Amino acid sequence: MDLKSLIRDIPDFPKSGILFRDITTLLGHPQGLRYTIDTLTEKCKAMGLTPDYVVGMESRGFLFGVPLAYHLGAGFIPVRKPGKLPAAVHQIEYDLEYGTDSLEIHQDALQNHHSVLIVDDLIATGGTAKATAELLSYIGCNVLGFAFIIELQDLGGRKKLPDLPIITLVEY
> Is 18 inside a domain boundary?
no
> Is 33 inside a domain boundary?
no
> Is 20 inside a domain boundary?
no
Region of 122 (left: φ > 0; alpha: ψ -120 to 50; beta: rest) is beta
> Is 13 inside a domain boundary?
no
Active-site residue 60, yes or no? yes
CB under 8 Å to 89, separation ≥6 — which residues? 104, 105, 106, 107
Q: What is the mean pLDDT of the chain?
A: 97
**Tell me: the pLDDT tens digits for 1-43?**
999 999 999 999 999 999 999 999 999 999 999 999 999 999 9
Whether the per-residue pLDDT at 97 is higher than 90: the answer is no
CB under 8 Å to 34, separation ≥6 — which residues? none
Radius of gyration of the chain (CA): 16
Active-site residue identified among 21, 60, 80, 151: 60
Q: Global pTM?
A: 0.96
Helix (H, G, I), strand (E, B) or coil at 74: coil
> Is 3 inside a domain boundary?
no
> Is 91 inside a domain boundary?
yes
Of 101, 110, 57, 63, which is closest to residue 82 (Cα–Cα)?
101
Domain tally, the chain: 1
Active-site residue identified among 8, 42, 58, 97: 97
Q: List the domain range (segments joined by +) for residue 153.
A: 49-167
Active-site residue 42, yes or no? no
pLDDT band at 98 (very low <50, low <70, confident <90, very high): confident
**Tell me: the pLDDT tens digits for 65-89?**
999 999 999 999 999 999 999 999 9
Whether the per-residue pLDDT at 92 is higher than 90: the answer is yes
Q: CA angle, corner 10, sides to 4 and 37, nearest 5? A: 35
**Tell me: the pLDDT tens digits for 135-168?**
999 999 999 999 999 999 999 999 999 999 999 9
